[in-house]
Structure 1
């Protein structure tokens, strides 16, 4: 499932991120990727343990964790601390799939990457190119969103970032280990949850159908969850 989440960041959060990134110290993005991806990756990143990355990462993670749409789509169990990148001067990232297992730098443990998220921190008119290209079961999608918006997609997806030929594209990206490992099962639960929310507004939280569907949702979550 590929899902656009509008306004993940508030205007104040977005402006703070942008101001900090404009003054930050950047390093070669190849320093934070695997052996194979290093041949495909041409960008800049904040050092993962830098104060700017840690402080901005907390803002991004809190915004995602408190966003009902993000939570419903990803059912997050563990967040990997968000990272930050910059593409400019032809910078790009060739077609690849994210590593299945990544080390959590703060918990000193490993997690499975189920859900990938990119938060756009530059507006589309500020750069040329730079589309996030995701290969989905329904075809190839090109994503270029307003600053503050996010795109959520399965970590199993092949994806790439087109070259940025003018301007600069700033973004945050991170991974989540979900309580539900299967993308197909997460999609079913997401669709069910969204319909329950609509029926709750149209009917009421105590309506017989809403109570019944809510029970089905939680029983599926109980059956499928990875604890």
Structure 2
């Protein structure tokens, strides 16, 4: 499932984050690449141990953990500390698939990457190119979102970033391990949660249908979750 999550941050909040990020120690983006990715990747990145990456990454993670749509869709078990990249001057990232296991340092966070996410921190009109192209069952999807919006998609998907030919594309990217490993099961739970919320708004939390749907949701989650 590919999901657009709007307004993780407001425009004013993005401006504050960008002011901090733009002054950071940008370096070659291949620091976090696997063998396959290193052959295709041309961009800049903040070192994950840098003060600014840790500081802003914590802000991003807190915002995601407080976002109801993100939590419902991702069912996060562990979020790898968010990272930050920058594309400009023709830089791009060729077709690749994200590593199955991500580990931060020798003794840091290690997760199974079930889901990947990109949080856009540049307005689409401020740069040309830079589309995130994600391969789905029904073909490639082009994603270029307003600053502050996020796209969530399965880490197993082939994806790429097209060359940025004008301006700069700045974003945060991250991987996460979900409580529910299977994509189809996770999507079913998300759809059921959304439907239950709609019935709740229409009929109220004490309606019998809401109570029964909530029970079905938690019984499915109990069956599929890995904790």
Q: Specify if TM > 0.5.
A: yes
**Structure 2 CA distance for aligned equivalents of residues 217 and 139 of structure 1:** 30
**Structure 1 CA distance for aligned equivalents of residues 110 and 21 of structure 2:** 28
- Could you tell which deviates more after superposition, 103-112 or 122-131? 103-112
Q: CA contact under 8 A between 1:180 and 1:226: conserved in structure 2? A: yes
**Structure 2 CA distance for aligned equivalents of residues 225 and 171 of structure 1:** 30
- The aligned counterpart of 1:171 is 171
Deviation of the 1:161 alpha carbon: 0.2
Q: CA contact under 8 A between 2:36 and 2:96: conserved in structure 1? A: no
What do residues 170-220 of structure 1 show as CA deviations (whole Å, max 9, x unaligned)?
000001100000111000000000000111000011100010010000000
- The aligned counterpart of 1:154 is 154
Write the mapping of 1:184-203 to structure 2, written as runs, cut at 5 A: 184-203=184-203
- The aligned counterpart of 2:27 is 27
Question: Any stretches of 5+ residues in structure 1 without a counterpart?
Answer: none
- The aligned counterpart of 1:69 is 69
Aligned residues: 227
Q: CA contact under 8 A between 2:121 and 2:171: conserved in structure 1? A: yes
Deviation of the 1:104 alpha carbon: 3.6
What do residues 28-85 of structure 1 show as CA deviations (whole Å, max 9, x unaligned)?
0012211221010000000000000000001110111100000000000001000000
Alignment RMSD (CA, Å): 1.1
- The aligned counterpart of 1:79 is 79
**Structure 1 CA distance for aligned equivalents of residues 2 and 107 of structure 2:** 28
Question: Any stretches of 5+ residues in structure 2 without a counterpart?
Answer: none
Write the mapping of 1:1-227 to structure 2, written as runs, cut at 5 A: 1-105=1-105, 108-227=108-227
Using the size of structure 1 for normalisation, the TM-score is: 0.97
Using the size of structure 2 for normalisation, the TM-score is: 0.97
**Structure 2 CA distance for aligned equivalents of residues 131 and 222 of structure 1:** 38
Q: Would the alpha carbon gap of residues 16 and 50 (structure 1) be closer, same or farther in structure 2, given more than 3 Å must change?
A: same
Q: CA contact under 8 A between 2:132 and 2:144: conserved in structure 1? A: yes
Moved beyond 3 Å, runs of 4+: 104-107
Deviation of the 1:22 alpha carbon: 1.7
